[in-house]
């Protein structure tokens, strides 16, 4: 399964850029990220206030942020490569396995959260309440769309263009550590964050980075991220990184020690989640074997100058000596033998038979 020629062309152009230029593009992209975050917040608040629909504020903010990130990162990539390609710049390639990658990631994210929360449910430290009013269903649908945009925005910001540029500048391992650390540090400013929440967020950052490295796309990581958040906030009614505004159908409170249940921060502050995410690294590696084989081999980029290597002198001398010798004579014998046989007895028999024949 081959990549489109346009994608290979963009990658070839990117491979010719220096490490310092990649690092400069990463820093410029980081500045654009913070500017887009601020602008999207103001735009969403202004539109929601004008429509008198505060409930739409998170949806509008995440949708605006996704749009601004796509536009800004694509523009930076076009300036550097002289090629305009939204999909390639933001690691969202169009390929036959797109839907399969997203669904496989969603299954992994769903399973991770269920397994991490199962011990809490079995020990009775979760106390859920169910709300089945019609408005609750509408809010749940709104939460799902908002979480889909939120998870896409985070993947674009931390595993898309910036991650690609940092990989080209300092290598995949260092880039994974740096961006996962930044991702965890930013999460530590959220309400009710703890040391366990920092560790879980760092591990999640490594998992999402690994999803990109194994597929060279965001589809799988986006699926994992969305399902993890949706199962946590909408299905189980638990806080998502300290934010409990996504719980409408189910609201749940967790008792017991914070290191076990996550407390007010939610499951992302639980030691159980840390163990589950570390185990999921091995699962993700196994389920992406086919994608790694198809999509992660670097393209062959022709570079340098054509070089003609002369044959060894001894080889040339042998060829010259063979050409100087006259061609050997070859004697061609007639196809039909002049004698009837090479054995005297057979010749005598044939003469006798010819003499005994009577003329007509």
Domain positions in the chain: 5-295
Query: Quick one: tokens of 350?
Result: 């044939």
215 vs 338, higher pLDDT: 215
pLDDT interval class at 159 (50, 70, 90): very high
Q: Which residue has the tokens 């005297």?
A: 344
Rounded to an integer, the average pLDDT of 326-350 is: 62
Please give the pLDDT value at position 257: 87
Residues 103, 182: Cα–Cα separation, whole Å: 27
Range in 75-84, 92-101, 175-184 with the lowest mean pLDDT:
75-84
Highest-pLDDT range among 82-91, 153-162, 250-259: 153-162
Rounded to an integer, the average pLDDT of 34-38 is: 95
pLDDT interval class at 270 (50, 70, 90): very high
54 vs 78, higher pLDDT: 78
Residues 79, 290: Cα–Cα separation, whole Å: 33
pLDDT(14) > 80: no
Residues 71, 65: Cα–Cα separation, whole Å: 10
Q: What angle do CA 21, 27, 30 make, to 5 degrees?
A: 140
325 vs 43, higher pLDDT: 43
pLDDT(13) > 70: no
Q: What is the pLDDT of residues 211-257, one digit of tens each?
A: 999 999 999 999 999 999 999 999 998 999 988 888 888 888 888 88
Find, among 50, 73, 47, the residue nearest to 58 by Cα: 47
Find, among 250, 57, 240, the residue nearest to 154 by Cα: 240
Q: What angle do CA 333, 335, 336 make, to 5 degrees?
A: 115
What HEC string does 254-291 produce?
ECCCHHHHCHHHCHHHCHHHHHHHHHHHHHHHHHCHHH
Please give the pLDDT value at position 304: 58
Q: Which residue has the tokens 């925005």?
A: 153
Please give the pLDDT value at position 349: 67
Find, among 233, 246, 178, the residue nearest to 30 by Cα: 178
Please give the pLDDT value at position 323: 76
Three-state DSSP state, 303? coil
Range in 141-145, 213-217, 256-260 with the lowest mean pLDDT:
256-260
Which are the contacts of 229, defined by CB distance < 8 A and separation ≥ 6?
147, 150, 151, 240, 246
Rounded to an integer, the average pLDDT of 139-166 is: 95
Please give the pLDDT value at position 135: 83
Percentage of the chain modeled with pLDDT above 70: 83
Query: Quick one: tokens of 327?
Result: 């061609």
**CB–CB of 210/195 below 8 Å?**
no
Q: State the chain's mean pLDDT as an integer.
A: 85
Please give the pLDDT value at position 128: 82
Please give the pLDDT value at position 207: 97
> Angle of helix 172-187 relative to helix 161-170, nearest 10 degrees?
130
Residues 262, 264: Cα–Cα separation, whole Å: 6
pLDDT interval class at 157 (50, 70, 90): very high
Q: What is the pLDDT of residues 284-320, one digit of tens each?
A: 999 999 999 999 876 555 555 556 667 777 777 777 7
Please give the pLDDT value at position 61: 94
Residues 43, 38: Cα–Cα separation, whole Å: 9
Q: Across the chain, where does the E strand assignment appear?
A: 126-130, 250-254
Neighbour tally for 65: CB within 10 Å: 26
Residues 7, 13: Cα–Cα separation, whole Å: 10
């Amino acid at each position: 399964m081959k990549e489109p020629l346009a994608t290979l062309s963009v990658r070839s152009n990117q491979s010719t850029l220096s490490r310092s230029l990649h690092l400069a593009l990463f820093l410029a992209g980081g500045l654009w990220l913070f500017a887009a975050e601020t602008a999207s917040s103001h735009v969403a608040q202004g539109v929601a206030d004008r429509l008198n629909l505060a409930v739409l504020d998170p949806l509008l903010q995440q949708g605006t942020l996704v749009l601004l990130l796509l536009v800004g990162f694509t523009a930076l990539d076009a300036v550097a490569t002289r090629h305009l390609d939204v999909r390639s710049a933001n690691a969202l390639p169009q390929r036959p396995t797109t839907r399969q990658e997203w669904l496989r990631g969603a299954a992994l994210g769903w399973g991770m959260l269920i397994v991490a929360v199962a011990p809490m449910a079995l020990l009775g430290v979760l106390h859920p309440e169910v709300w089945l009013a019609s408005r609750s269903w509408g809010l749940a649908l709104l939460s799902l769309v908002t979480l889909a945009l939120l998870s896409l925005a985070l993947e674009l910001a931390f595993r898309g263009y910036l991650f690609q540029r940092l990989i080209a500048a300092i290598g995949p391992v260092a880039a994974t550590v740096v961006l996962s650390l930044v991702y965890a540090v930013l999460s530590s400013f959220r309400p009710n964050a703890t040391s366990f929440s920092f560790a879980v967020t760092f591990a999640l950052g490594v998992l999402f980075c690994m999803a990109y490295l194994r597929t060279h796309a965001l589809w799988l990581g986006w699926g994992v991220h969305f399902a993890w958040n949706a199962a946590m906030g909408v299905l189980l009614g638990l806080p998502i990184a300290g934010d409990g505004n996504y719980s409408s159908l189910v609201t749940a409170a967790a008792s017991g020690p914070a290191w076990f249940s996550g407390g007010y921060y939610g499951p992302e502050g639980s030691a159980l989640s840390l163990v589950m995410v570390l185990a999921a690294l091995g699962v993700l590696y196994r389920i992406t074997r086919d994608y790694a084989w198809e999509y992660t081999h670097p393209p062959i980029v022709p570079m340098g100058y054509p070089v003609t290597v002369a044959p060894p002198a001894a080889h040339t001398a042998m060829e010259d000596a063979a050409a100087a010798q006259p061609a050997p004579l070859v004697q061609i014998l007639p196809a039909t033998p002049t004698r009837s046989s090479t054995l005297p007895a057979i010749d005598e028999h044939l003469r006798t038979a010819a003499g005994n024949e009577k003329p007509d």
